[in-house]
Structure 1
Amino acid sequence: MGIQSGAATITFFHVPDPITEDFWNYIDENLKAGIFSPCGEEDVRTSGFVSWSDLFSIDLDHGGYRKGEYIVFQFRIDEKKIPSMLLKQHLKEEKLRFTKERGRPPTRSEQKILKEAVEKKLIKLTFPIPRGCEVVWNPLSRELMLGTASSGVIEAFLAHFERYLKLFPVPQYHLKWALTMDDVPAQVKDSITKLVNPSSPTALKEGMFLGYEFLTWLWFRTEAYTNDVKVDDSRHGSIYLGDRITLGVPLEGTEKVTCTSKKHHLDEARVALASGKRPAEAQWFMQVADREYTFTLDASLWSIKSLKFYINTPPEGNDPDGIFFNRIFCIEEVRAFLRKLYGEFLNFRFTSSWQDDVLPELNRWIMNFRRGKPISELKNVDN
């Protein structure tokens, strides 16, 4: 589900500034150059930029992609897919026809030619299946939100965006996010890059320990220390572990345990944690003033999934712009709180505080699950 849905999923990127003196003219020309065009008879797949309000409209004229400081549009992919059973049946008929006409069955190379001909014929008769995702880009903060977590859609979008905008968005997963955060000291960033090369094609996997450790620390922080989060002078809130958590062994894709509870007890999850597993994905509940949020965060820290929010004083009426700015405000607020918490974690993890103060208490907290001691017996960690 995308940004405009009731349970939003958003994947984040950092976009560098384009080298141009006329930014908005640059955006206008290149967005329109990459506009969507429908599939032709022989096309298997096409993609392009379309209107924010309508996936089937290519109207990007008159600055229709601008909402305040944001650039908003959708990315659409149309793809023709031939059902395997249909392809198999038509190929079988072609082989029988070939055998009848030639008096012999087709060779392996001839079968390949027959298959290509059948696929080409069926493609002409097949209707494309459209899909897409919303794009919200804030040039001032250099943050781009993509309303999907699908790797296929993300890859297609990046290829198209880079081709036409000549910009290369940086995915904000655990490692890359840490390196683009302004409030993370340079020495902390240096320590991170000594452990994982950010230019490595396997950096996402190699740095996954950051996500596992962050989710573990956040669970520990909220239960053994404090739920309170202060982002800035005007925003103060709280965060709690939700009703669902999945645990696994870092860097191993096998044997994961998913635990759910309507009472926030998650006793099975605590047993799994004590046995050596770590949170791979967890639901969180957050409250700021009169705003309540639930969302899921996995160890990549790249996407916020299934984001739902409740506001006691929602915008009045059905003004599309009012609804848009309200949703983006909420998404950015959740992102700001997570950024604050992740920065706090990094400043512990890569300084002496981690070994001296945090890790002993965190390990003691985990061991107490095995012993069955109450959380109230734990000592607070000095922030």
Structure 2
Amino acid sequence: MGFFSGRAAFIRFRVLNAPPQIFGEEHLQRLAAHAAGRQRVASADGIEIGWTAGEHVLDTDFQPAKNIVNDALVFDLRVDTDRLPPDLLRAYTAIELLALSRNNPSGFPSLRQKREAKEAARARLEEEARDGRFRKRKCYPLLWERLSNEIWFSSTAATAIDRMAGLLAQTFDLTLECMTAGRRAYHLAEVHARTRQVDDSAPSPFVPGITPASLAWIVDERNRDFLGNEFLLWLWFYTDTRGDTITLADRSELAVFPSQTLTLECPRGQTGLETIRSDAPTRLPEARRAVQAGKLPRKLGLTLVRHQEQYELTLHAENLALSAIRLPPLPDDITDPQQMRQERVTQLRHLVESLDLLYDAFVQRRLTREWEKELHAMQSWLKKEERRAA
């Protein structure tokens, strides 16, 4: 499964229903009732979806030991798509067209014959596809985390998310909310009665006269996901000017190091996207020139250390999705496969908790008067870098 081997990646969804008291046979039976391959009739686009147990694309044997791990329900979404080979379709069309136009006095096929040849070729290919020879199967791992009542889904593609959410609604009657930067800020503001501050927030003018009042990738005026872009820029500023250690709300300390990758984009949608790869991308002069020109971070690679555990990942600004996650090595005394899976879930929970506390530390500044002072410091930081470059 994607969460238990290699580098993990997922986007988080809050489950708006009450959390289950415990995962058990009832949940596994519901998954089995909507297992991949049970759907009799394909959807209008010819795509079939269903759940799998995770060991391989044909595994529909749901078991507690396999699919219930450390208070989490883990399983896969499988998407089956029939992809008719275009080269074979062209070949069948040519064969049909030759047969239809053989007796034409002109020696050329008519428009009607061309249309009939295409229809006959597609019908022949669809008949051959009935046995599944052209079917493509793709699995997307999910983890339903009971303690926080969240769904972690391994794809950020809109079509995959829509299919996952729709099938979860059929299977468990769940309603989901994507935990984007804006939604996370609202949830935190509700705790401190500061939702008005989130409503009134607007993109900050980090480079006065250059930073626009709206972002090209934020099309909804009510959307506050631009806070994710400001969060990544603030992390860049903080680690560049104040050190790499941030004290969190629970009094623990988190060491933050920008690393590996940085993606910036023009908020006006004019000068394009720029991706920089380096051990320390924020230290490179081209990265600084890009942000001085008004570009904002869309993705940033991070190395985090908290409670002596080190994590590597890429954080996406607007939806706070995580990718290329490298977890700490497991302790040497854990050799049982089931214990290893349980420890992986514990590590992922610790990583998510650390990121939430880090983002909350930013939002606490962003939604108070302290932000005016912080914004002025960031503007001075950028001007200072401009003088240094000159």
Fold equivalence (TM over 0.5)? yes
Q: Does 2:116 correspond to 1:105?
A: no
Q: Secondary structure at the match of 2:377?
A: helix
Task: Name the CA distance, whole Å, in 2 between partners of 1:178 and 1:119.
Answer: 51
Deviations 1:64-121 (A, max 9, x none): 5322321111222222212222222222322333334898635276466435414423
* Deviation (angstroms), 1:238: 0.5
Q: Name the CA shift for 1:109/1:88 in 2 (closer, same or farther; >3 Å).
A: closer
* Deviation (angstroms), 1:42: 8.4
**What amino acid does structure 2 have at the position aligned with 1:368?**
K
In structure 1, the residue matched to 2:172 is 165
Is the CA contact 1:247–1:281 (under 8 Å) kept in the aligned structure 2? yes
In structure 2, the residue matched to 1:349 is 366
In structure 1, the residue matched to 2:241 is 224
Q: Name the CA shift for 1:271/1:206 in 2 (closer, same or farther; >3 Å).
A: same
In structure 2, the residue matched to 1:330 is 347
Task: Name the CA distance, whole Å, in 2 between partners of 1:212 and 1:341.
Answer: 14
In structure 2, the residue matched to 1:372 is 388
Task: Name the CA distance, whole Å, in 1 between partners of 2:311 and 2:167.
Answer: 33
Q: Name the CA shift for 1:334/1:317 in 2 (closer, same or farther; >3 Å).
A: closer
In structure 2, the residue matched to 1:240 is 257
Q: Secondary structure at the match of 1:180?
A: helix
* Deviation (angstroms), 1:156: 2.1
In structure 1, the residue matched to 2:3 is 3
Task: Name the CA distance, whole Å, in 2 between partners of 1:251 and 1:93.
Answer: 52
Task: Name the CA distance, whole Å, in 2 between partners of 1:114 and 1:172.
Answer: 48
| Structure 2 counterparts to residues 267-306 of structure 1, below 5 A | 267-306=285-324
In structure 2, the residue matched to 1:36 is 36
**What amino acid does structure 1 have at the position aligned with 2:288?**
R
Q: Name the CA shift for 1:230/1:325 in 2 (closer, same or farther; >3 Å).
A: farther
Is the CA contact 1:204–1:300 (under 8 Å) kept in the aligned structure 2? no
In structure 2, the residue matched to 1:180 is 187
In structure 2, the residue matched to 1:70 is 72
**What amino acid does structure 2 have at the position aligned with 1:275?**
A
Deviations 1:195-215 (A, max 9, x none): 69xxxx955994342221111
Q: Which one of the candidate residues 112, 130, 140 is aligned to 1:133?
A: 140
Task: Name the CA distance, whole Å, in 2 between partners of 1:153 and 1:282.
Answer: 24
Task: Name the CA distance, whole Å, in 1 between partners of 2:265 and 2:52.
Answer: 40
Is the CA contact 1:95–1:106 (under 8 Å) kept in the aligned structure 2? no
Q: Name the CA shift for 1:160/1:41 in 2 (closer, same or farther; >3 Å).
A: closer
Deviations 1:271-303 (A, max 9, x none): 111121111111111112332111111222331
Task: Name the CA distance, whole Å, in 2 between partners of 1:183 and 1:285.
Answer: 30
In structure 1, the residue matched to 2:210 is none
With the length of structure 2 as denominator, give the TM-score of the two structures.
Answer: 0.81
Q: Does 2:217 correspond to 1:212?
A: no
Task: Name the CA distance, whole Å, in 1 between partners of 2:352 and 2:273.
Answer: 27
**What is the total number of aligned residue pairs between the two structures?**
366
Task: Name the CA distance, whole Å, in 1 between partners of 2:269 and 2:140.
Answer: 30
Q: Secondary structure at the match of 2:331?
A: coil
Is the CA contact 1:315–1:322 (under 8 Å) kept in the aligned structure 2? no
Task: Name the CA distance, whole Å, in 2 between partners of 1:342 and 1:153.
Answer: 27
| Structure 2 counterparts to residues 51-130 of structure 1, below 5 A | 51-61=53-63, 64-100=66-102, 105-107=110-112, 110=116, 113-114=119-120, 116-124=122-130, 126-130=133-137
Q: Secondary structure at the match of 1:186?
A: coil
Q: Does 2:379 correspond to 1:363?
A: yes
Identify the range of structure 1 (115-124 vs 268-277) with the bigger mean alpha-carbon deviation: 115-124
Task: Name the CA distance, whole Å, in 1 between partners of 2:125 and 2:196.
Answer: 52
**What amino acid does structure 2 have at the position aligned with 1:85?**
D
Q: Name the CA shift for 1:318/1:97 in 2 (closer, same or farther; >3 Å).
A: farther
Is the CA contact 2:74–2:142 (under 8 Å) kept in the aligned structure 1? yes
* Deviation (angstroms), 1:365: 0.9
Is the CA contact 1:282–1:296 (under 8 Å) kept in the aligned structure 2? yes
**What amino acid does structure 2 have at the position aligned with 1:10?**
F
**What amino acid does structure 1 have at the position aligned with 2:375?**
L
Task: Name the CA distance, whole Å, in 1 between partners of 2:100 and 2:171.
Answer: 46
Q: Secondary structure at the match of 2:327?
A: strand
Task: Name the CA distance, whole Å, in 2 between partners of 1:4 and 1:339.
Answer: 22
Is the CA contact 2:25–2:64 (under 8 Å) kept in the aligned structure 1? no
Q: Does 2:197 correspond to 1:191?
A: yes
Task: Name the CA distance, whole Å, in 2 between partners of 1:165 and 1:102.
Answer: 61
Q: Name the CA shift for 1:315/1:112 in 2 (closer, same or farther; >3 Å).
A: same
Q: Secondary structure at the match of 1:17?
A: coil
Quote the RMSD (CA, aligned, Å). 3.4
**What amino acid does structure 1 have at the position aligned with 2:354?**
F
In structure 2, the residue matched to 1:376 is none
Q: Name the CA shift for 1:362/1:193 in 2 (closer, same or farther; >3 Å).
A: same
**What amino acid does structure 2 have at the position aligned with 1:334?**
L
Q: Does 2:284 correspond to 1:266?
A: yes
* Deviation (angstroms), 1:158: 1.7
Is the CA contact 1:297–1:304 (under 8 Å) kept in the aligned structure 2? yes
Is the CA contact 2:24–2:64 (under 8 Å) kept in the aligned structure 1? no
Gaps of 5+ in 2: 203-217
* Deviation (angstroms), 1:232: 5.8
